[in-house]
Amino acid sequence: MRGRPGYAIAEVLVAVVIISISFIELSGAISKIMRSANQTALMGKSISVAHSTMEEVMAQSFDAKGSEAGGYVLEFNGSGDHLDCGDVSVINGASALTISGWINPDMASGNDIIYSKNGADADNRILLYIDVDNEDLYIKYENGGTNQYGKYTSFTTASYQNKWTHFAVVFNGSGSGNSGKLKLYINGADLALSFTGTIATTITDASGHPFYIAKSDADYFDGKMDEVRIWNVARSEEEILDNYKSGITDPYAENELKLYLRMNNGAGAVAFDHSNTMAQGTITGATWTGQSSSWSTSLGKETEASWSEYNDVDDFHKSGGFTDSDYSQLGGRIYVKYVVVDPTSWAISDAGEGTITDYKQITVKIGIPGSTDSTQLSAIKSAKIIQNYGLTYSPYGN
């Protein structure tokens, strides 16, 4: 009975096999647990990335044109429509001045006049206009001298026709040389001008002559305008960049703001001045147009090169392949579309291709590495509140 070693060896081998199988099963279970834990961690991180990405998108304006929503713009027909703002005496003989606004030019042909104030003759005036045929933007600040102006030579129809564009013309009589005295900012960017003649140290004194919007002599403006402002100082590049998309919360408290035409009353023959000057603009011919019809029809970035240059939520549309700086494994895409929101039930539905509304739905989708799962977060950006007017709604702002 002592001679059964083979049986004992077989038992040992079976035990080893069982232990091996158990170890494999345990390893598999541990691996599954680890994968599950990793997926859970990645899912948690993806939620964090989705929220932080959404915060960045929602911090932008509803549309590149950053004026108050739910309001109006003025539309000019190019053949007589204009605003007469009266003398606006702060311009006369000024040594520093900033004039800014939003334009959406049709750029059909001829000269599109943005603003003007003529003195005794053509050698004494300020004038901003688009030479449509040659695709130039002229800034004429002439004070007793023929041809004193700066010119931006790349105001092309491809870039600016039927698109909302913000302009700011800054005059600083104490600046160094022509480029120091006269500057042009388009959508917050300081653009190089070519100059003719010598820009004077003061603006001509055109007392008693009106400041026109959309008119100079027999030339007019064809398109839409909004949010025209005049400051009696030379605003800095930082001030232009920080504020060109924003409304002004308390314009009466801005002592340097001397004309502020919001153009948002929607009816009547006057464009009210919301500055402490109260120099209303008398409307001739121009018509009030609802703001929603002025929003961008196309979704996606235009000329912006990176996220830091995006100036409205739809610039992020279909921006994909991005990765988070803290979680390099995670990346995703952003989608933006116009939607319809039922005011009673708050039900959301697609607006349909090419339809513009006062609501945009932003969707951030973050993929989970190693799976087909993803984290998806959606939010509604509404144009029904005043953009950047100090109003904040949790969690993503306006």
Q: Are residues 106 and 234 in the same domain?
A: yes
Which of 238, 265, 291 is a domain's end point? 291
Q: Which residue has the higher pLDDT, 204 or 325?
A: 204
Q: Is residue 84 part of a domain?
A: yes
Burial group, residue 37, by CB count within 10 angstroms (0-12, 13-18, 19+): exposed
Q: Are residues 200 and 149 in the same domain?
A: yes
User: Dihedral through CA 79, CA 262, CA 291, CA 381, nearest 10?
Assistant: 150
Q: Are residues 287 and 300 in the same domain?
A: no
Instruction: Identify any residues that bridge with 304 across adjacent strands, giving them in sequence order.
Output: none
Q: Is pLDDT of 112 > 70?
A: yes
The CA distance from 354 to 378, in Å, is 21
Number of domains in the chain: 2
Tell me the percentage of the chain whose pLDDT exceeds 90: 42
The CA distance from 94 to 101, in Å, is 19
Which of 291, 323, 345 is a domain's end point? 291
pLDDT band at 378 (very low <50, low <70, confident <90, very high): confident
Q: Is residue 3 part of a domain?
A: no
Containing H/E element for 166? strand 165-172
Nearest 5°: phi and psi at 234? Answer: -85, 105
Q: Is residue 6 part of a domain?
A: no
Q: Which residue has the higher pLDDT, 304 or 355?
A: 355
Structure pTM? 0.68
Q: Is residue 243 part of a domain?
A: yes
pLDDT one-digit tens code per residue, 177-199: 999 999 999 988 999 999 999 99
Q: Are residues 246 and 357 in the same domain?
A: no
- CATH at residue 277: 2.60.120.200
Q: Are residues 145 and 255 in the same domain?
A: yes
Q: Is residue 227 part of a domain?
A: yes
Containing H/E element for 49? helix 5-58
Q: What is the pLDDT of residue 304?
A: 72
Q: Are residues 216 and 236 in the same domain?
A: yes
The CA distance from 148 to 195, in Å, is 8
Mean pLDDT along residues 28-49: 62
Q: Is residue 8 part of a domain?
A: no
Q: Is residue 154 part of a domain?
A: yes
Q: Which residue has the tokens 């004039």?
A: 99
Cis upstream peptide for 5 (omega within 30°): no
The CA distance from 288 to 261, in Å, is 13
Q: Are residues 96 and 52 in the same domain?
A: no
pLDDT one-digit tens code per residue, 234-289: 999 999 987 777 778 788 889 999 999 988 888 899 999 999 888 899 999 999 98
The CA distance from 367 to 49, in Å, is 11
Helix (H, G, I), strand (E, B) or coil at 53: helix
* Number of neighbours of residue 224 by Cβ within 10 angstroms: 24
Q: Are residues 268 and 318 in the same domain?
A: no
Q: Are residues 79 and 162 in the same domain?
A: yes
Q: CB of 88 within 8 A of CB of 126?
A: no
Domain that holds residue 334: 48-63+296-382
Q: Are residues 152 and 284 in the same domain?
A: yes
Q: Are residues 58 and 84 in the same domain?
A: no
The CA distance from 308 to 305, in Å, is 8
pLDDT band at 377 (very low <50, low <70, confident <90, very high): confident
Q: Are residues 140 and 176 in the same domain?
A: yes
Q: Is residue 1 part of a domain?
A: no
Q: What's the half-sphere exposure (Cβ side, CA atoms, 13 Å) at 109? A: 0
Which of 231, 257, 291 is a domain's end point? 291
Question: Which of 44-53, 177-186, 325-334 has the least mean pLDDT?
Answer: 325-334
Q: Is pLDDT of 213 > 50?
A: yes
